[in-house]
Amino acid sequence: MKLPRWFHQLGSPPYVYRLAERLAPWLGGLGLLLLAVGSYWGLVIAPPDYQQGDSARIIYIHPQTAYVGMMAYVVMAVAAGIGYVWRMKLAHAVAVSAAPIGAWFTFCALITGALWGRPTWGTYWQWGDPRIMSEALLLFLFLGYLALRGAFDDRDKADRVTAILAVVGVVNVPIIHYSVEWWNSLHQTSTLLAEGGPAMTIDMLIPFLIMFAGFTLTFYWLLLRRLQAEIVEREGNARWLRDWLAGARNE
């Protein structure tokens, strides 16, 4: 199979490093701006929920951070799979970069969920609840992936072995998503993907979606910056990196 040229370009560390350098400021700037606007809208402008009152304002951060955690896992698994199959080192660098950010967002989703659960369900945590357990498993998959990496001195070997864990663990992502439909859970079903359209009014839906975009862009901003550092670590003494550093010093 002949692979398209952009595929080869995306395998070139200097190309990707420069691409990231150009894209990152836009992603970060726009992402943080959307988060600021969305938070103000969600906390101040949007009305309280008719059943849950003001505690429902956590809906502008909890599903979004959970979504980004799952998206980070998919990015990690796809990148690790590509790295494994095509032996592309840069893909492994993407997988390694996505893992800690995904872990942090998943941690954030669990904490915000607990803080929402207390006033709504009367409990911070429920052992055995399918949504909470599968989301906690996601956090442990990220942490397990990172811990397993730490067990290898040889980076190439770590890349290949942890790629298998990353790819196998991806089955947990649909399980998290459908857990509230397949089993009885304390957790409410999806508000956005409810039958017959989003189950919220437009003045709640707008900040809800703004925050989705904001967290997603912020994730990719962090990912690109982390990837750049990872590339520098991996490339070590490469000619292009020396030239780049020399150029950056002279500017």
Partner 1 sequence: MSEFFSMGGHGAYVWSAYGITLAVLIVNVWLVRAKRRSALQRAKALATQDEVPRKQPTVRRLQ
Which residues are CB-neighbours of 57 under 8 A, at least 6 positions away?
42, 43, 46, 48
Task: State how far Cα 67 lies from the chain centre.
Answer: 7
Q: For residues 119 and 55, is the Cβ–Cβ distance under 8 A?
A: yes
- Out of 29, 53, 150, 174, the only residue in the binding site for partner 1 (CB under 8 A) is 53
121 touches partner 1 by CB under 8 A = no
Q: Of the two residues 15 and 152, which places its CB atom closer to partner 1 in the complex? A: 15
Number of chain positions touching partner 1 (CB under 8 A): 48
Which residues are CB-neighbours of 116 under 8 A, at least 6 positions away?
55, 58, 59, 62
- Out of 7, 12, 25, 182, the only residue in the binding site for partner 1 (CB under 8 A) is 12
Angle of CA points 181, 186, 187, to nearest 5°: 60
229 touches partner 1 by CB under 8 A = yes
Region of 39-47, 159-167, 182-190, 194-202 interacting with partner 1 (CB under 8 A): 39-47
123 touches partner 1 by CB under 8 A = no
Region of 50-58, 80-88, 126-134, 192-200 interacting with partner 1 (CB under 8 A): 50-58
- Kindly write out the interface string for residues 60-99 of this chain, putting x where it contacts partner 1 by CB under 8 A and - elsewhere: -xx--x----------------------------------
| Number of Cβ atoms within 10 Å of the Cβ of 202 | 7
104 touches partner 1 by CB under 8 A = yes
184 touches partner 1 by CB under 8 A = no
Q: Which residues pair with 53 in a beta bridge?
A: 49
Which residues are CB-neighbours of 152 under 8 A, at least 6 positions away?
158, 161
| Number of Cβ atoms within 10 Å of the Cβ of 140 | 14
107 touches partner 1 by CB under 8 A = yes
Which DSSP letter does residue 58 get?
G
139 touches partner 1 by CB under 8 A = no
Buried b (16+ CB within 10 A) or exposed e, 48-72: ebeeeeeebbbbbbbbbbbbbbbbb
44 touches partner 1 by CB under 8 A = yes
| Number of Cβ atoms within 10 Å of the Cβ of 114 | 15
Region of 38-46, 79-87, 143-151, 156-164 interacting with partner 1 (CB under 8 A): 38-46
Residues that bind partner 1 (CB under 8 A): 5, 8-9, 12, 15, 35, 39, 43-44, 48, 53-55, 57-58, 61-62, 65, 100-101, 104-105, 107-108, 111-112, 115-116, 118-119, 218, 222, 225-226, 228-230, 232-233, 235-239, 241-242, 245-246
